[in-house]
Amino acid sequence: MANLSTVSADSEAVREGAANLPSNVADFTVEHVCAWLEGMDLGEYADVFRTNKIDGDLLAELEERDLLEDFGITNKYHRKKIMKRLQGH
């Protein structure tokens, strides 16, 4: 069973990391992209983005079909969340 104080501390560290991201997505490194995903509670996809070396330039080019076909994000609400965030909504 997870220690709740550890989970809270880990969640706080993720939020802090997401808050320290560059303001321009194009300036994201691969690790920034992973922190961005964690900040949206979608960290389960960080490894596939890391494996594919998705930085900010590539992230900005992604389409919803890429998320499904290339990244295996089958949950349509997760794809929508990512796409809405990329579109600035």
Amino acid at 16: E
Provide the pLDDT for residue 88. Answer: 83
Domain ranges of the chain: 4-86
Give tens-digit pLDDT for 18-27. Answer: 568 998 999 9
pLDDT digit string, tens, across residues 36-51: 999 999 999 999 999 9
At the top level of CATH, which class does the domain 4-86 belong to?
A: mainly alpha
- Name 18's Cβ contacts closer than 8 Å, sequence gap at least 6: 35, 36, 38, 39, 40
pTM exceeding the 0.85 threshold for the entire prediction: no
**Summary mean pLDDT of the chain:** 84
Q: What is the mean pLDDT of residues 56-71?
A: 97
DSSP string, 8-74: HHHHHHHHHHHHTS-SSGGG--HHHHHHHHHHTT-GGGHHHHHHTT--HHHHHH--HHHHHHTT---
Tell me which residue has tokens 């560059």.
Answer: 22
